Amino acid sequence: MERYEYVLLNKEMSERLGIGISTLRKWAASLEKNGYGWEKNEDGTRYYTRYDEDTLILFKTLVKEQKFNLEQAAKVIVSRRQGGRSLERAGGALQENKKESPNETHSDTRSLNPISTEPSVLTEEAIQSLMNYVKDQEQLNKSLIEKIQEMEQERNSYHALLEKIEDERKADRELLKQVGQQLKRQEERTNERDKMLMENIRSIQQLAAAKEEERKKKGFFSNLFSR
């Protein structure tokens, strides 16, 4: 028996999944947005095959049990299940169904063979495979998080080192400033001392010159009165 053994419309599929039609449409739209291909009729109505039902069961498991959001669930499922989908077989089933029932109007169910109410035998395998994939992704994410944390620690250490170097530079600049101020004060004191020394020298020279002048005058008068 071909894998795609029946074709369903929205109402029948929503009943089989135990969800509302609006919820089914949201799930289908999310899958389609992320690259999942649906078989549609001329007016754009989606048809669901056994493969699509398996896909939606996986989607329900991720959303309801694993608490994925719609976007996350769609990305995971498309990455795992899209490669096995055959639109030609699904389309062929749909075309064969239309040929067998040319006068049938749209109904909730278009069956090529009696529809089994039992779950697909592939569902458990597919769910286990998907769970293994999710676990692998979680392990990969854990490794990435650990690597990011290591890089963050290295970055923090690097910033701490830069801050330490900057603090040392500030201390060096402050020390140089203090040394410059001390040198400036020493220079000012030296200039003041030199100025006072020069003034003392000039005072001594002036005093010596005055004494010499006085001595000369005394010698002149002594010579004058001694004649």
**Helix (DSSP H) and strand (DSSP E) numbers for the chain:** 6, 4
- Tell me if the pTM is above 0.75: no
Instruction: Please work out, in degrees rounded to the nearest 5, the angle formed at the alpha carbon of residue 69 by the alpha carbons of 64 and 74.
Output: 95
Give the model confidence (pLDDT) of 6-33 as tens digits.
Answer: 688 889 999 999 999 999 999 999 999 9
* Nearest residue to 29 (alpha-carbon basis) of 17, 15, 44: 44
Q: Tokens in use for 55?
A: 């896909």
Q: Reply yes or no on domain 6-120 having CATH 1.10.1660.10.
A: yes
* Cβ proximity of 155 and 147 under 8 Å: no
89-138 residue pLDDT tens: 444 444 444 444 444 334 444 443 444 444 444 456 656 666 777 777 77
Tokens of 92: 């062929």
- Report residue 7 as tokens: 């074709």
